[in-house]
Structure 1
């Protein structure tokens, strides 16, 4: 089956089954599907996908209230990030006023709130940092500078952090305009290396997480004093399940895809199209794979 045919099948499946997804979040909810609908409408020229995107976005905005978690993965921060992405790429039009109340909710979170997210969120990431990168407010410097990232790593030194969370920390380190002049005496690399070593030894990652980590470390161009080559040797990793974070980190990685076994992916998707569950419609499932083909 040609990839374009498979993409069309996935698009139709998402179009017909979006109602199965009840949450509004980015990773597991309707926001990810909405993102795909706008992207696919532009690629295919089929208006019905854009119309569904408009409908889903309206439903999401009607349900974004203060009782929803502020986290990035499936809460307010991820929804607002995606809406801003749609605005910046001319899919929709909206004023910055739409974000004002949500900015307050997210930026009122303390350092401990960011860390507690590790215990309360599925697939946690560094919410405040990822969100601050795209809001262009005064909070961007506070939440993305090296000293703040180091505080997070120090306060969690007795814990084993998932690689997915560490990836988000490293991405913020790389993407922040306030970290352009990297301090060679900074503790960041050493702290990050120690956390990464512990997480890899504990197998606290997916294959996709490890693939993204290697790409980010290569971009970081860390000093050779840390033995990154032994920690992350060259290997062929062929994850089948999509990793939604690769879509978020594309500006730094200059890529929105992970290497994969195309035949295995095709077979996997065929099986999912037959035995579909709501989880399969997420950014870590069919929606994520489909977006990676067209973003």
Structure 2
């Protein structure tokens, strides 16, 4: 709050969270999707759709440039803090006309690095560090490439090895498990040439967090369980 003309003006919760993100995001060292700059950037993009006068395009552009500079060879392949999540974020930005270009070209180095991890050796099935996160990126990336009549962004050997892996997982995972949808999508793509659905829903990536607005500065910033995710959910509830 602040004083103006002897009146106390109170910021809304959204404005307070937004101000916190705008002030501190650029100091983050994590470029990732779930806990770092990429996830926050995507929430700011969504916020800017609803309130285009509250965030400057220059700020978003500068944040994108800083994020590119933060990507390096030592990042893990995973979805939470690594290459799969960053690649997914790139596809989101292209889909929402924030950046121009083709995902296959922009993410070429990311894809090459991801293909260095043998999918047959991935035992973790989780969204954050395992197979579900990998499939979320691979499917949306392939879906966009096919939509643009481009060749596949991953080579045939990698696609086949991934198919071998998910085909086994399809037999051993419940249809109710969170990964099953993505397994089924990839099997349909590889075995029947069905174009994967392009799913780019941020709210699916946010966990439920108990929130005390009086302790705003105690929370982390990210999408998964921090202020960016809280802002996104608040936006959805208010729509």
Instruction: Give TM-score scaled by structure 1 length.
Output: 0.56
Give 1:288 shift. Answer: 1.3
Give yes or no for contact 2:79–2:127 (8 Å, CA) kept in 1: no
Tell me whether 1:110 sits opposite 2:118 in the alignment.
yes
| Superposed counterparts of 1:43-82, under 5 Å | 43-46=50-53, 48-82=55-89
Specify which of 166, 170, 179 is matched with residue 149 of structure 1: 166
- Show the counterpart of 1:171: 181
Change (3 A) 1:6 1:81: same
Change (3 A) 1:135 1:44: same
- Give distance in 1, aligned partners of 2:205 and 2:223: 16
- Unaligned 5+ runs, structure 1: 183-247
Give yes or no for contact 2:92–2:200 (8 Å, CA) kept in 1: no
| Structure with greater proportional helix content | 1
Give yes or no for contact 2:77–2:113 (8 Å, CA) kept in 1: yes
Tell me whether 1:289 sits opposite 2:222 in the alignment.
no
Give 1:180 shift. Answer: 11
Specify which of 114, 139, 163 is matched with residue 133 of structure 1: 139
What SS does the aligned partner of 1:54 have?
A: helix
- Show the counterpart of 1:201: none
- Show the counterpart of 1:84: 91
Change (3 A) 1:181 1:7: farther
- Show the counterpart of 2:7: none
Give 1:40 shift. Answer: 1.2
- Give distance in 1, aligned partners of 2:100 and 2:48: 16
- Unaligned 5+ runs, structure 2: 1-10, 143-151, 193-198
Tell me whether 1:5 sits opposite 2:22 in the alignment.
no
CA RMSD in angstroms comes to: 3.9
Tell me whether 1:124 sits opposite 2:124 in the alignment.
no
- Give distance in 2, aligned partners of 1:175 and 1:24: 28
- Give distance in 2, aligned partners of 1:135 and 1:142: 16
Instruction: Give TM-score scaled by structure 2 length.
Output: 0.68
- Give distance in 1, aligned partners of 2:53 and 2:18: 11
What SS does the aligned partner of 1:46 have?
A: coil
- Show the counterpart of 2:196: none
Give 1:44 shift. Answer: 0.5
Give yes or no for contact 1:14–1:281 (8 Å, CA) kept in 2: no
- Give distance in 2, aligned partners of 1:68 and 1:91: 24
- Give distance in 2, aligned partners of 1:65 and 1:152: 31
Change (3 A) 1:52 1:138: closer
Measured against aligned partners, the alpha-carbon deviations of 1:139-198 in whole angstroms (never above 9, x if no partner) come to 4964775x53243578xx8xxx9x9xx52x22313544716999xxxxxxxxxxxxxxxx
Give 1:32 shift. Answer: 0.8
- Give distance in 2, aligned partners of 1:259 and 1:67: 27
Give 1:107 shift. Answer: 2.3
- Give distance in 2, aligned partners of 1:23 and 1:33: 11
Give yes or no for contact 2:33–2:39 (8 Å, CA) kept in 1: yes
